[in-house]
Amino acid sequence: MAEPYKIVIGLEVHVQLLTKTKLFCGCRNQFGLPPNTATCPVCLGLPGSLPVMNRTAFQLALRAALALNCQMASFTKWDRKQYYYPDLPKNYQISQYDLPFSAEGWLEINIHPDPKKGHTPKRVGIIRAHLEEDAGKLLHDESGRGGDSRVDLNRTGTPLLEIVSKPEMNSAEEAVAYLEEIRLLMRELGVSDCEMQEGSLRCDANVNLHIPRSDEPHGYAATPLVEIKNLNSFRSVGRAIRYEAERQFSAFQNDPQNYRIGRLLKTTAGWDDARGRTEVQRHKEEAADYRYFPDPDLVPVTVSPEQIDAVRREMGELPSQQRVRLQTQYGLSPYDANVLTAKGRPMVAYFEAVATILNDGKQASHRISDLVFPALSERNEEMESFPIRATEFAGFIQATATLSKQDRVDLFTHMLEQGVNVAAAMEATGLKPATFDEATLRAAVIAAIGNNPKAVADYQSGKTAAANRIKGEVLKANKGAPNDLVQRLLEEELAKQ
C-alpha cells in the first residue's frame, strides 16, 4: 500500500580519511589508542600553535570528489566555524564554507537489488564535498546512576570528508543504498575504511514530508525539516527515517495549519536505537549562527588541471563501471554483477580468474555464490586470505560438474577443513562424479525442449515455472542426473530459442 505522503531525504555523510596523521598536525590518526594520548598543542587549540595542512588528506579528498562526479574548484580556502562543544577545545572547527573544493556532483544508486525485481538506477545529486577536522568524543556513564562524563580528544583534528547530498532520496531503502554505495566507493579507492562502529563513517539524515493537498500552490504541504543524528548503523538509518516519517505525518494530521516548514524551525533530533524513536534535542543553527570567517593561519589551496588528471589516472575502475563491464564481458545479470562488485576488488579479481579458466562467467558466479561466499562468512575471512586459489577453484568446478549440489558442498567443506585438493578430497570422502557427461545431458535437454513447444512458449511469455515441465522430462529420462546441472543447461538452451 502506497504511503499518503512523499518522504524527502538528504544525507550528510562524514568519512574519516585513511591518513597516518591528523589534518593539521602530526598526531597519529589511529582508532583505539588510549584516551588523550594522540594530542598536541595544535589539535588541543593551545595559544600560539599553528596548523599545517596534510597534503595526503587533500589528495584523498580530491580522489573521492572526482569519483563522486563533482566539479573541482581551482581555488579553495579554509574557514573557522564557531561553536562550543565540550569535545571541541578550540571552540571552533576548521572547515570550508563558501568556497568548498568540490561541488555539484552525483552518485548513481541501484534500488531493488533483488534477482526477481531487478534493478532501478537512480542518480542522487551531491551539493558539495569538503574537508574539515573532526571533534573529540564524549564518553557518558549510561548506567543511569548519575556517573561522570569524560572527554577523549584523540579524534580531535582527524581529517573528515563531508559529503552533502541533495534532498533527492524518497525512501529509507534509497538512503541505505546511497550509504552502501558511498562506503563501497570510499573503500575501493583507499580513501577510508568506512567502519561505522569505529566512527570512520557517520551519517546525519535530514527528513521531511511532502503531503498531497489540492488547495496548496505546489500541490502539497511540506512538514518542518528534522535532522536526525546518532545513526551508527545502516539498520539505524533505515529505522530512524521510517519512524520519523510516521511521526511527522501524525504531527501534521494533528495540526495541519501550523506543522509546516517555514512556520516551525528546523530541529535536530537524536535517534534512540533501543527505544526505536527520535528525540528532539535543539533547534538547528543556521550558517549565520556559526559566524564563519576565513582561517587566518592557513593559506588557500589551488588545484591545477594537471593535478586533477593525475589523480583521475590513479583511481582505477569505479564500482559503477565495474558492474557494467561484468555484465557485458561475462554475461552476468545486474544482480550478480552488483553482488560481486559489492564484495570488493579482490573478489572480482578472483571471479574473473575463475571465469577465464572456465570460459563461463555465469557458472563461475553461481559456484562462487554457492560455495565461496558462505565459506568466507563462516570462517570470518577476507578474500585475500582465502586458502583455495582461483585456479584450484576452477579445477574443482570442472571436476564436480556432475555432482549434486549437496555433494559439492560436502566436498568443498572437506577441502577447506583438511587443506587438500579436490582429488584428495574425493578419495577421502568417496564422492565421485556421476557417469553423466555434460554433452549427453545437453542433448537430452535440447530433445526435451523440442518435445514441449507449449512449455517453451509459456516460458518465453514470462511464465518461468513452465521450464520445470521440461526439466522434469530430462530428469525422468536420466535418473540420478544432477538437478542444478540440468537447470543450468536448460537455461542456456532456452536462452537460444
Backbone angles phi, psi at 97, to 5 degrees: -115, -85
DSSP reduced 3-state for 480? coil
Q: Is residue 449 part of a domain?
A: yes
Express each pLDDT in 169-222 by its tens digit: 999 999 999 999 999 999 999 999 999 888 899 999 999 999 998 888 888 999
CATH of the domain at 446: 1.10.10
Judgement on whether residues 136 and 218 belong to the same structural domain of the protein: yes
Q: Is residue 483 part of a domain?
A: yes
CA-based nearest residue to 95, from 63, 134, 42, 43: 134
Q: Contact 333/308 with Cβ under 8 angstroms?
A: no
Q: Contact 284/41 with Cβ under 8 angstroms?
A: no
Q: Is residue 1 part of a domain?
A: no
Contacts of 345 (CB under 8 A, 6+ apart): 188
pLDDT for residue 472: 87
pLDDT for residue 394: 94
pLDDT for residue 162: 96
Judgement on whether residues 370 and 476 belong to the same structural domain of the protein: no
The grid coordinates listed for 434 are: 556421476
**Last residue in a domain, options 306, 334, 352:** 306
Q: Is residue 421 part of a domain?
A: yes
**CB contact burial 430-449 (16+ within 10 A = b; e otherwise):** ebeebebeeeebbebbeebb
How long, in residues, is the chain?
497
What distance in Å separates the CA atoms of residue 481 and residue 437, rounded to the nearest whole number? 9
Judgement on whether residues 336 and 245 belong to the same structural domain of the protein: no
Count of domains observed in the chain? 3
DSSP reduced 3-state for 447? helix
Q: For residue 46, give its domain range.
A: 6-306
Q: How many Cβ atoms from other residues are within 10 Å of residue 53's Cβ?
A: 16
Judgement on whether residues 329 and 283 belong to the same structural domain of the protein: no
Judgement on whether residues 171 and 266 belong to the same structural domain of the protein: yes
Longest dimension (CA), the chain: 88
**Last residue in a domain, options 277, 306, 335:** 306
What distance in Å separates the CA atoms of residue 150 and residue 185, rounded to the nearest whole number? 35
Q: Is residue 180 part of a domain?
A: yes
Q: Is residue 121 part of a domain?
A: yes
Percent of the chain with pLDDT over 90: 65
pLDDT for residue 488: 84
**Last residue in a domain, options 408, 429, 450:** 429
Q: Is residue 31 part of a domain?
A: yes
Q: Is residue 388 part of a domain?
A: yes
Per run of 10 residues, the mean pLDDT along the chain (length 497 residues) is 86 96 96 94 93 95 96 93 89 93 94 64 95 90 73 95 97 95 95 91 95 87 91 93 95 91 88 90 73 93 92 91 94 91 94 95 94 94 93 92 85 92 89 74 89 88 85 82 80 85
Judgement on whether residues 218 and 360 belong to the same structural domain of the protein: no
Judgement on whether residues 25 and 120 belong to the same structural domain of the protein: yes
Predicted model pTM = 0.84
How crowded is the C-beta side of 224, counted as CA atoms within 13 Å? 24
Judgement on whether residues 367 and 234 belong to the same structural domain of the protein: no
Judgement on whether residues 133 and 19 belong to the same structural domain of the protein: yes
Judgement on whether residues 217 and 326 belong to the same structural domain of the protein: no
What distance in Å separates the CA atoms of residue 80 and residue 89, rounded to the nearest whole number? 13
pLDDT for residue 84: 85
Which helix (H) or strand (E) segment holds residue 129: the answer is strand 118-133
Judgement on whether residues 301 and 411 belong to the same structural domain of the protein: no
What distance in Å separates the CA atoms of residue 222 and residue 240, rounded to the nearest whole number? 19
List residues bridging with 30 in a β-sheet. Answer: none
Residue listed under C-alpha cell 580513501? 191
Q: How many Cβ atoms from other residues are within 10 Å of residue 263's Cβ?
A: 10
Judgement on whether residues 146 and 290 belong to the same structural domain of the protein: yes
pLDDT for residue 285: 64
